[in-house]
Structures are given as structure tokens and as C-alpha cells.
Amino acid sequence: MSEKDTPSPRPPRKFKPEPFQYHEEIELEITTLTNMGQGLGRINDWVVMVRFALPGERVRARVYRNDKNFSEADLVEVLTPSPHRIEAPCPVFSECGGCQYQHFEYSAQLEWKTKQVKELLWHMARVDHPVLPAIASPKLYGYRSKLTPHFNVPRGDRPMTIGFLKAGTRSQYVEVEHCPLISDEMNATLARVRAKTKARHLEKPFKKGGTLLIREHLDGVSTDPKQTIREKVGDITFSFIAGEFFQNNPSILPAFTGYVRDKARAAGAKYLVDAYCGSGLFTLTAAQDFEQVVGVEVSEQSIEYARRNAESNQIENASFVLGDAASIFENIQFAGEDSAVVIDPPRKGSSEAFLNQLIAFGPRSVVYVSCNPATQMRDLQTLLSGGYQIEEIQPFDLFPQTRHLECVVVLKKA
């Protein structure tokens, strides 16, 4: 049977066969990147998104989904490569969903991340404002201090897979034996933990899947998510629980926290409120420049560690308050007009109720830090309509080789 006579694979049950058939191969020019890191092009004004294709490339792609107004396709062949395309160092790159840009020259990664922040600002908030060039990470590989490989219970006699989600899937994992985003010491620990987990499964099979932890810190590498560990940022040493959130690119944290501190101080505020303070990262790294700093957090455990961190670093002008989402600024003892507020919410952004409380508190300036510029730009609409104006927008690349970044938006009361 010739290749032309080979029957096409059966499409998924809910596949819509318009405008392309399942696994139909198409050729197109890639003109831009989505904020998910996919290459985007058009055929007769119909949008097609292709994973691992880069702007400026002509590619052959295989369609696997038609949505209401776009299609998604796998990259089959690069017909005309981008001048910024490079060889990815990881053998499972393009299979593993953890990285999107290892094949993309780093200077070009930064340019596109900057451009995407500006595009999101316009699309989400209808604001046209300059965006400063993304600040590069000092380390491009070996920068991650935390890795969380996952596994499912294998069916039948299949071997256990320990790694990360396969690109484009929600439940299939790719075996990851070595990750270039972590240090040699972490990779050695990864090898030991993988072997131990697989051996344990052979002796006493797991009933459900799980997540492993490998975390590098000031005193070594830990695998116990409940262990108290330490990390140093500038002159400040932080203690926190290994499994809890703490920014995981230590190489860029001095510049990152220094920028937030400087912009909070620039408006002339005497006091600082860190409204999602965690274990005190922004509160304590900024304390030296304010008369008083207050961290607010809804997690009792995080507040306890923040207080310990202030005490162990002999920072006497910092206090921490266990906050209630309904009245986050109720226990702040100074006036908003004398204050700057730093907010660093989770990926889902801030709630409308929180933003309204922030506006009612009326700080002199707001420094909004976000790992998800899409929800950040959404929230900006509320802050702009509440009497604030954008002063500066500065992306930081805490996550080289991936589509992720942190973005800092500095706002002043109009």
C-alpha cells in the first residue's frame, strides 16, 4: 500500500471537520506568537496556531483541532527557518510541555515577551503605553530552584512514567530523566528520586498518581515538601516551607525585588503595604527604605514565617497581619495617602472586591507584580477607572526558555 493509500487516523469523536480535515497537512507563514508560545499564521484569514513554530517561518503543519474561529496544528516540517531558530539542548524538547522556547534565540525570546505585554495591554485594557524591554535572567539554564515532576499509576504492565505533561495533552506524561533548567545537583537528586519512586511502585504499587519535589536552597537540595528551608535574596535570608510558593529563579531576585522597592519608594511614601506578602519577600527586601512596612497575607503559616524572617534578619520596622479577604486593609494603621502598596496576586489575578478595597484605601502608588500579564491587564481596567494612571511597565524574565514571565506595572494616583 502506498503512502497515499494509507487510511487517515480516526478523528476524535468531537472533531469538527471544517475548515480542515483531521490530520490534514497545510503550509503557512507564521507571523506572530500567541501568549501561550504557539506560532500563529493565517490561511485565507483563518487563524492557525502551530506549536514550536516561530515568527518569520514557513512551515508544514498537521491539523488536529478546528475551533470556532481558529485551528490548532502540530509542526511537521520547517520549510523556511527563522534566523532566530537554534538547536534545543533538551532531548525531549517539543515533547515535554514544560518549555516552549528552547529552540528560540534568547534575545528574540525577550523581544517577543516584551511585545506580548504591550499587545495584552491594548487588547485587555485598551491602553497604549510604552513597555520597557524585558530584563534578562542572569542564568538562561540551570536557574530553577524548584522542580515538581509528576506521575500517574501505569495501566497493566506498562512502565511508570515520571516527568511532565506531554505538549498539547492534559493527562499524558513525558519521561524526563534530566532537565537543563535545573542545576547538576538537582539533576542528580532527580535521578535518585525517580529510581526510588519506581522501585517503591514495584514493591507496593501506588493507588494513585502523585507529585515529587526537588528544591535547591541555601543549605542543599530537599525532597520533603514539609521541610523548612532557607533562601538568600541580597542581604536578607528567608525561611519557608519547601513545598510552598517562593520565587524559583534566585539569580534574578535581587534585581527583581530591588526594582519593586525602588518604584514603591519613588512616589515619596513613608509606609509600604505588601498585600500578598507570603513569607515576606517584597516586605523585607524593601523595609530599609520605609519608616514602616506591613505585610498582609491570608495564610497563617506564611505570616508566621514572615514574622520569623523579620526577627532573624533584625528588621524592626516590619509587621505582618493575617488578612481577611473581605477587609484586607482594615488593620492598617496609617493613611493610604502616605503609603505605597505592592500586590503580587496568584495567576488568577485580584478579585474585584480586593481592587475596590485597594482603591478605597487610596495609596499614593501601586506596584502590581504578576506572573500572568493577561489577568494583570484585566485588573488594570479597574485601577485605571478608580483614579490611577500607569507610570511604568517593566517585564522581568524569571522563566527563560518558557512562555512565562513576570510583569511589574507601576501606577500613581492621578
324 assigned to a ligand binding site:
no
For the domain that residue 270 is a member of, what is the CATH number? 3.40.50.150
288 assigned to a ligand binding site:
no
Q: What percent of the chain has pLDDT over 90?
A: 87
- pLDDT band at 8; cut points 50, 70, 90: low
Q: One of 99, 277, 371, 407 is an active-site residue; which one?
A: 371
Instruction: Give a yes or no: residue 396 inside a domain.
Output: yes
35 and 120 fall within a common domain: no
263 and 129 fall within a common domain: yes
For the domain that residue 43 is a member of, what is the CATH number? 2.40.50.140
For 17, other C-beta atoms within 10 Å of its C-beta total 11
Instruction: Give a yes or no: residue 214 inside a domain.
Output: no
Element (H, E) at 274: strand 271-274
For the chain, the domain total comes to 2
Model confidence over 35-48: pLDDT tens digits? Answer: 899 999 999 999 99
pLDDT given at position 330: 83
141 assigned to a ligand binding site:
no
Model confidence over 147-201: pLDDT tens digits? Answer: 999 999 988 888 899 999 998 888 899 999 999 999 999 999 999 999 999 999 9
DSSP 199-267: HHHHHS--SS-EE--EEEETTEEE--TTSEEEEEETTEEEEEETTS---S-GGGHHHHHHHHHHHHHHT
pLDDT given at position 7: 52
65 and 24 fall within a common domain: yes
376 and 284 fall within a common domain: yes
pLDDT given at position 10: 82
Q: Which of 369, 320, 365 is nearest to 339 (CA)?
A: 365
Q: Which of 114, 12, 125 is nearest to 63 (CA)?
A: 12
Query: Is a pLDDT exceeding 50 seen at residue 83?
Result: yes
Q: What is the spatial distance between Cα 9 and Cα 102, in angstroms, rounded to a whole number? A: 30
- What are the distances in angstroms from CA 330 to CA 275, 353, 361? 12, 14, 9
Instruction: Give a yes or no: residue 32 inside a domain.
Output: yes
Instruction: Give a yes or no: residue 343 inside a domain.
Output: yes
1 and 128 fall within a common domain: no
pTM over the 0.85 mark:
yes
Instruction: Give a yes or no: residue 48 inside a domain.
Output: yes
Q: State the average pLDDT for the chain.
A: 94
C-alpha grid cell, residue 313: 534578619
pLDDT given at position 169: 83
Instruction: Give a yes or no: residue 30 inside a domain.
Output: yes
Find out whether 79 and 59 touch, Cβ atoms under 8 Å: yes
13 and 130 fall within a common domain: no
Find out whether 233 and 281 touch, Cβ atoms under 8 Å: yes
Q: Is 407 a catalytic residue?
A: no
122 and 8 fall within a common domain: no
312 and 402 fall within a common domain: yes
SS3 73: strand
Last residue of a domain, one of 51, 85, 119: 85
Instruction: Give a yes or no: residue 186 inside a domain.
Output: no
42 and 135 fall within a common domain: no
Burial class (CB in 10 A: 0-12, 13-18, 19+), 48: buried
Q: What is the spatial distance between Cα 17 and Cα 84, in angstroms, rounded to a whole number? A: 34
- What are the distances in angstroms from CA 184 to CA 189, 232, 248, 279? 9, 20, 16, 28
For 386, other C-beta atoms within 10 Å of its C-beta total 17
Provide the domain limits for residue 73.
Answer: 1-85
The DSSP bridge pattern shows strands 25-33 and 228-233 to be unpaired
72 and 130 fall within a common domain: no
Tell me the CA end-to-end span of the chain in Å, nearest whole number: 72
Instruction: Give a yes or no: residue 111 inside a domain.
Output: yes
pLDDT given at position 3: 43
Model confidence over 303-341: pLDDT tens digits? Answer: 999 999 999 999 999 999 988 766 788 889 899 999 999
DSSP 99-159: -S-TTB-HHHHHHHHHHHHHHHHHHHH------PPPBPPS-SSS-BSEE--EE-PPPTTPP
Query: Is a pLDDT exceeding 80 seen at residue 348?
Result: yes
pLDDT given at position 12: 86
Query: Is a pLDDT exceeding 70 seen at residue 2?
Result: no
2 and 114 fall within a common domain: no
66 and 112 fall within a common domain: no
pLDDT given at position 414: 87
381 assigned to a ligand binding site:
no
Note the residue count of the chain: 414
